[in-house]
Every structure is written in C-alpha cells, then in structure tokens.
Amino acid sequence: MKKRHLKTLGIIAAALLAVVLARPTQFTIAAGLIFVIIGEAVRCWAAGHLVRKKELATSGPYAYVRDPLYFGRLFLLTGFCIMGGPWCLVVLIAGLGVFFWSYLPRKYQKEMTWLEDIFGEDYTRYAAEVHSLIPRLKPYPHSAGKAWSFKLFWLENREQYFILIVLSIFAGMLLKYYLLSKGIL
C-alpha cells in the first residue's frame, strides 16, 4: 500500500476515533466549526496554487506560510477536537504530539532537501523568509503572484476528496450531537 494511502487511512482512523469519543454540544460544534472553516479554506486556497514537482509555490497562501496545507490541517484537527468536547482534547494532544515530534521532523528532512535540490537558491531564499507554519504579515516579496486555479484545485491536487472527508467528519459530529441530545446514546 502506498504511503499516501496509509496517511489517508491514518487521518480517517483518527477522525473516527474523535467521533466515537466525541461529546459535542451546540457550543463546541459552533466553536470548532470556526477552526474547520478556516482550515479547509486555507487548504482550498493552497490547492489552487500548488504545481507539485514543477514550480516552487510562492503565490496565494504560499506567500505567507511555507506549508499552508499542513497549516490548514492543524486548524482542522483543532476544530474537530474542539467540536468533540473534552475527550477529544486527548486526541488533539496526541495528534499534535505525533505531528510536531514525529511527522514534521521527517518531512523537513526529506522534503526540504528535495526542494533545495530541485529549486536551488530560489527555495533556500524562500525558506529563509517564509516560515513553515507561522504566517508572515506581509506577502513574500518575490512571490510568483499567480492567480488561483480551479484546474489545480480539482484535477491536479484533488482537494475535493479531502473536502469529502471533512464533510463526513462534520456530519459524524452532528449525528453524534443529535443522538446524544435525544438520549439515544
């Protein structure tokens, strides 16, 4: 099985665990939804600017943060764990731990070297000026300035599948809230 599929299965398993542990309320759903909307909006924006392995992405959200897809994913994780209530905070802490102490260091080691090999000094300068997960206040001065592309979003990066996962988790949280509020669970 490809690593990409394993990563997707891991995300789905964590999402199912969050829904099983969830004790959502109207307040936690509303508060978490703010984070979820921001997270998916950033991911959609980024997916419309990313041309993998061919161009150094510096336009759109890449002008502010080097890894907007991961940035958006962190907002999604946080939002869904807020939706789920207290027990999901354990999932959040575990998820953040895995992300920052296991996944991200390996990603940096592999991906940054690879990007430096492909894009050379352009990437080195970009990485020195744009942080991975802490956004700049002003856009990167050497940004490509490209417009958002539906073709990149839909055909190349296929963000619609990730949106389906996000909508499914949200529906699971709403269903869990309904079942709890009716005393069924």
Q: What is the pLDDT of residue 92?
A: 87
Mean pLDDT, all residues of the chain: 91
- Whole domain around residue 175: which residue ranges? 3-181
Reported as a pLDDT band with limits 50, 70 and 90, residue 154 is very high
The per-residue b/e assignment along 11-21, b for 16 or more CB within 10 angstroms, e otherwise, is beebbebbbeb
The answer, yes or no, to whether residue 32 has pLDDT greater than 90, is yes
Number of domains in the chain: 1
DSSP the chain: --HHHHHHHHHHHHHHHHHHH----HHHHHHHHHHHHHHHHHHHHHHTT--TTTS---SGGGGT-S-HHHHHHHHHHHHHHHHH-HHHHHHHHHHHHHIIIIIHHHHIIIIIHHHHHHHTHHHHHHHHHS-SSS--SS--TT---PPP-HHIIIIIS-HHHHHHHHHHHHHHHHHHHHHHHTT--
Residue type, 147: A
The answer, yes or no, to whether residue 80 has pLDDT greater than 90, is yes
pLDDT in tens, 134-145: 999 999 999 988
CA distance to 34, 47, 116, per residue, from 119 (Å): 36, 20, 5
How many of the other CB atoms lie within 10 Å of CB of 142?
Answer: 14
Reported as a pLDDT band with limits 50, 70 and 90, residue 17 is confident
Instruction: Average the pLDDT over 26-46 and give the result.
Output: 98
Q: What is the pLDDT of residue 7?
A: 65
